[in-house]
A and B are shown apart, each in its own frame.
Chain A
Amino acid sequence: MIEPPLLDIRDLHLSMTSFDGEAHVLAGVNLSVRRNEVWGVVGETGCGKSLTGLSISRLVPSPPARYLGGRILFDGRDLLALDEAGMRSLRGHRIGMIFQDPTTNLNPAFRIGEQLVDVALAAHRRNPDILGIAARAGWRARRRAARDLAVRTLAEVGITDAAERIDAYPHEFSGGMRQRVLIAMALIGRPDLLIADEPTTALDVAVQSQILALLAGMVKDHAMGVILITHNLGVVAKACSHAAVMYAGTIVESGPVVDVLRKPSHPYTRALMASIPASGIRRGELKGLPGQVPNLIRPPHGCRFAPRCAQAAEACQAQPPRPVDLGGGHMAACLKLAPAAEAA
Chain B
Amino acid sequence: MFLTIPVLLGLTVLVFAIGRLLPGDPVALAAGPNATPAEIAAYAREFGLDRPVWVQYATYLTGLLGGNFGVSIFTRRPVIEDLIAYTPATLELVFAAMALAVLIGIPAGLAAAVYRDRWPDYLSRVAALGAISMPRFFLGLLLQLAFAMWLGWLPLGGRFPLTDDPPRLVTGFLTVDALIAQDLSAFWTACRHLAMPAIAMSLSPLATIMRMMRASTLEVMQQDYVMTERALGLSQRLIVTKYVARNAISATLTVIGLYFGWLLGGTVLVETIFDWPGLGLYATKAVVTQDFMPVIGVTLVIGTLFVCANLLVDVLYGVVNPKVRTK
Interface residues of A, Cβ cutoff 8 Å to B: 57, 59, 88-93, 96-97, 99, 101, 104-111, 115, 118-119, 122-123, 126, 169, 171-172, 182, 185-186, 189
With both beta carbons as reference points, the residue of chain B lying nearest to A126 in the complex is identified as B233
Are A122 and B234 CB-contacts (below 8 A) given A99-B227, A109-B250? yes
A-B interface, 8 closest residue pairs, ranked by CB to CB distance from nearest: A92-B233, A91-B233, A92-B232, A97-B231, A104-B224, A107-B225, A169-B322, A122-B233
Residue from B224, B234, B235, B321 within 8 A of A109 (CB atoms): B321
- Expressed in whole angstroms, the minimum distance between the Cβ of A164 and any Cβ of chain B is 16
Q: Complex Cα distance A126/B234, Å?
A: 12
Contact check, B225 vs A189: say whether CB atoms are below 8 A apart. no
- Expressed in whole angstroms, the minimum distance between the Cβ of B71 and any Cβ of chain A is 51
The dominant DSSP class at the B interface is helix
Interfacial chain A residues near B231, Cβ < 8 Å: 57, 59, 91-92, 96-97, 99
With both beta carbons as reference points, the residue of chain B lying nearest to A118 in the complex is identified as B234
Q: Is B238 an interface residue (CB 8 A)?
A: yes
Interfacial chain A residues near B228, Cβ < 8 Å: 97, 99, 105-106, 182, 185
- 21 A-B contacts (beta carbon < 8 Å): A59-B230, A88-B233, A91-B232, A91-B233, A93-B233, A97-B231, A99-B224, A99-B228, A101-B224, A105-B225, A105-B228, A107-B243, A108-B321, A110-B243, A118-B234, A118-B238, A126-B233, A171-B322, A171-B323, A182-B228, A186-B232
Contact check, B323 vs A108: say whether CB atoms are below 8 A apart. yes
Interfacial chain A residues near B232, Cβ < 8 Å: 91-92, 96-97, 119, 122, 185-186, 189
Q: Is B223 an interface residue (CB 8 A)?
A: yes
Interface residues of B, Cβ cutoff 8 Å to A: 223-225, 227-235, 238, 242-243, 246-247, 250, 320-323, 326
With both beta carbons as reference points, the residue of chain A lying nearest to B321 in the complex is identified as A109
Given contacts A88-B233, A92-B232, 19 further A-B contacts (CB under 8 A): A88-B235, A90-B233, A92-B231, A92-B233, A92-B234, A96-B231, A96-B232, A104-B224, A109-B243, A109-B247, A109-B321, A110-B246, A111-B322, A122-B232, A123-B233, A126-B233, A169-B323, A185-B228, A189-B232
Contact check, B233 vs A104: say whether CB atoms are below 8 A apart. no
Interfacial chain A residues near B250, Cβ < 8 Å: 109
Q: Complex Cα distance A59/B236, Å?
A: 13
Q: Complex Cα distance A89/B234, Å?
A: 9
Residue from A89, A115, A171 within 8 A of B229 (CB atoms): A115
Q: Complex Cα distance A108/B229, Å?
A: 13
Interfacial chain B residues near A92, Cβ < 8 Å: 231-234
Q: Complex Cα distance A93/B246, Å?
A: 25
- Expressed in whole angstroms, the minimum distance between the Cβ of B144 and any Cβ of chain A is 43
Contact check, A104 vs B238: say whether CB atoms are below 8 A apart. no
Contact check, B223 vs A109: say whether CB atoms are below 8 A apart. no
With both beta carbons as reference points, the residue of chain A lying nearest to B233 in the complex is identified as A92
Q: Complex Cα distance A89/B250, Å?
A: 31
Contact check, B233 vs A189: say whether CB atoms are below 8 A apart. yes
Contact check, A104 vs B223: say whether CB atoms are below 8 A apart. yes
Contact check, B247 vs A91: say whether CB atoms are below 8 A apart. no
- Expressed in whole angstroms, the minimum distance between the Cβ of A209 and any Cβ of chain B is 23
